[in-house]
Every structure is written in C-alpha cells, then in structure tokens.
Amino acid sequence: MKKQTTIEWFVDEIRNHLAEGTLDAIRISKLKLQAKAMEKEQIIDAFNYARYRLGDSSDYYNETYK
C-alpha cells in the first residue's frame, strides 16, 4: 500500500469536512498542524531512506507515493 503525500491527505481531509459540514477556521488550523507534522516525518523518512540507499531521489518518491 502506497502512502499519500501530505498535500493529498490535506485535500482529502478538507473535502471530507466540507461534505460533512464540519469545516471551520479551527478545523483548518488543526488540519494544518497535522499536515506539518506529517510533512516533517516524511522528510525525516526520506532522508533516512537516502542515507542507506544511494539512488535517485525520484526513486524514493515513486516507490513511496505512486
């Protein structure tokens, strides 16, 4: 199973909350904080992956998100 990028997750969450009628400024702020934490983890994971497997950075992206 491939992971979603942070942007894909964020857009999906916005759409879900819009559909449910639960999207407001507070919800958006919470989603933004979650997305930033997820992005940080994805950057750390990519760095660690690259340290142990030298290769093209697009290989990591394609294997993880495509």
- Rounded distance between C-alpha atoms, residue 33 and residue 31, angstroms: 5
Could you report the per-residue pLDDT of 15-58, keeping only the tens digit for each? 999 999 999 999 999 999 999 999 999 989 888 887 777 666 67
Q: Is 1 domain-assigned?
A: no
Contact between residue 4 and residue 65 where contact means Cβ atoms under 8 Å apart: yes
The DSSP secondary-structure symbol of 22 reads -
- pTM of the shown model: 0.71
Range of the domain at 50: 6-65
Domains of the chain: total:
1
Size of the chain, expressed as the number of residues it contains: 66
The closest alpha carbon to 38, from 12, 66, 1, belongs to 12
